[in-house]
């Protein structure tokens, strides 16, 4: 979609904004001077982007949310968030996007650049490992091709409903893998790649393709945008040895600094998973600010440079998202 097409959609929506706009009573109760970080993943051109998981918003839904928020709130960068450079009369919102999907470059950046809205993009640098897809996306898109039973590292998983479940514990494969180390994830990659028939279907590109180095560098050159790390292999650091976590964090940081030339000081921890040892490890690797999510509550032992985020739900309307943000701030 071209910039002009995006503008046309924008003005069409602005013309009919009352159909989904936020009531004045809600607007006035949204904490002037407060600040919040929103977490997105992917934006798809497809009208129904939740076929495989709930990480993606349609282009139209994303545009509605952004236009609605821009009308009533103030967008800030993570640097402004860190230094408390906020509008005291409005709610201040920092946008973040996780994983480094190609659609962030093709669909999100042109829109935000056109509207002069700052944002931060947290990149998973799995290209360091010669990989072109996150294991969660590989699993989601391979699922319908998988046999009724698979075995990974001697563990048997049975296909039931919409998942593969471990025979003994009943744990779904995705949740099981999050708590495993890179050795297990590598074995999962090896198995799933045998069923990656979807890669030849260009209509599915939005759901798995990631940005290349030159696209990351282009985003990093835009003064509106910030690049941060989302880890090297998207592993949950509290469940792996400290040395493995440190190696993963450093490898991602070094790769991104080489690509863009800027110092990487922000990290969005994969899955928002954190504990104090994870935070200390990340800080010792040179990260200055760490981002979690709303499911991982901040504790008094965490430094002030550890922030929570509100993850966007693709099933909520623009109005209900604002209500959700209000509840999060309460």
Alpha-carbon span 120 to 135, nearest angstrom:
23
Write the pLDDT tens digit of every residue in 119-129: 999 999 999 99
The pTM for the full model equals 0.88
Q: Residue 310: its pLDDT value, please? A: 87
Q: Residue 311: its pLDDT value, please? A: 87
Q: Residue 297: its pLDDT value, please? A: 65
Cα angle at 122 between 197 and 316, to 5 degrees? Answer: 75
Alpha-carbon span 131 to 193, nearest angstrom:
11
Helix intervals (H) in the chain: 3-15, 24-28, 59-72, 78-82, 102-103, 109-115, 135-142, 173-178, 182-192, 213-221, 242-260, 276-284, 318-329
E-strand stretches of 22-181: 35-40, 42-44, 56-58, 74-75, 92-99, 119-123, 149-152, 155-160, 163-166
Phi, psi of 158 (to 5 degrees): -110, 135
Q: What is each CA distance from 181 to 176, 177, 209, in whole angstroms?
A: 11, 8, 23
Q: What is each CA distance from 236 to 233, 245, 252, 300, in whole angstroms?
A: 9, 8, 14, 22
Write the pLDDT tens digit of every residue in 286-297: 999 999 986 666
The number of beta carbons lying within 10 Å of the beta carbon of residue 221 is 12
Instruction: State which CATH number among 1.10.3720.10, 3.20.20.370, 2.60.40.1930, 3.10.450.50 fits the domain covering 3-130+202-329.
Output: 3.20.20.370
Q: Residue 4: its pLDDT value, please? A: 43
Q: Residue 279: its pLDDT value, please? A: 96
Residues of the chain with pLDDT under 50: 1-29
Every domain range in the chain assigned CATH 3.20.20.370: 3-130+202-329
């Amino acid at each position: 979609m071209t910039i002009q097409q995006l503008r046309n959609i924008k003005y069409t929506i602005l013309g009919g904004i009352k159909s989904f706009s936020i009531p004045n009573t809600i607007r006035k109760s949204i904490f002037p001077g407060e600040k919040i970080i929103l977490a997105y993943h992917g934006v798809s051109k497809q009208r129904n982007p939740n076929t495989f998981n709930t990480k993606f918003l349609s282009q139209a839904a994303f545009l509605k949310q952004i236009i609605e928020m821009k009308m009533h709130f103030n967008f800030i960068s993570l640097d402004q968030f860190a230094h408390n450079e906020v509008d005291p009369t409005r709610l201040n919102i920092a946008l973040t996007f996780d994983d480094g999907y190609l659609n962030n470059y093709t669909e999100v950046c042109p829109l935000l650049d056109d509207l002069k809205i700052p944002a931060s993009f947290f990149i998973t640098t799995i290209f360091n490992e010669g990989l072109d897809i996150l294991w969660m996306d590989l699993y989601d898109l391979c699922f319908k091709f998988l046999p009724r039973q698979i075995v990974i590292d001697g563990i048997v998983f049975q296909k039931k409903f919409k998942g593969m479940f471990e025979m003994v514990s009943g744990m779904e494969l995705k949740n099981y893998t999050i708590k495993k180390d890179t050795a297990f994830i590598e074995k999962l990659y090896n198995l799933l790649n045998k069923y990656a028939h979807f890669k030849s279907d260009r209509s599915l590109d939005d759901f798995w393709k990631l940005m290349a180095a030159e696209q990351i560098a282009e985003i990093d050159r835009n003064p509106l945008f910030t690049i941060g790390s989302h880890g090297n292999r998207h592993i949950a650091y509290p469940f792996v040895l400290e040395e493995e976590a440190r190696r993963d964090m450093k490898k991602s940081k070094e790769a991104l600094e080489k690509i863009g030339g800027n110092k990487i000081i922000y990290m969005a921890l994969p899955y928002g998973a954190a504990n104090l040892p994870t935070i200390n490890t990340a800080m010792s690797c040179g990260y200055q600010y760490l981002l979690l999510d709303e499911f991982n509550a901040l504790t008094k032992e965490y430094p002030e440079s550890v922030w929570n985020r509100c993850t966007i739900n693709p099933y909520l309307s623009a109005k209900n998202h604002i209500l959700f943000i209000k509840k999060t701030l309460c």
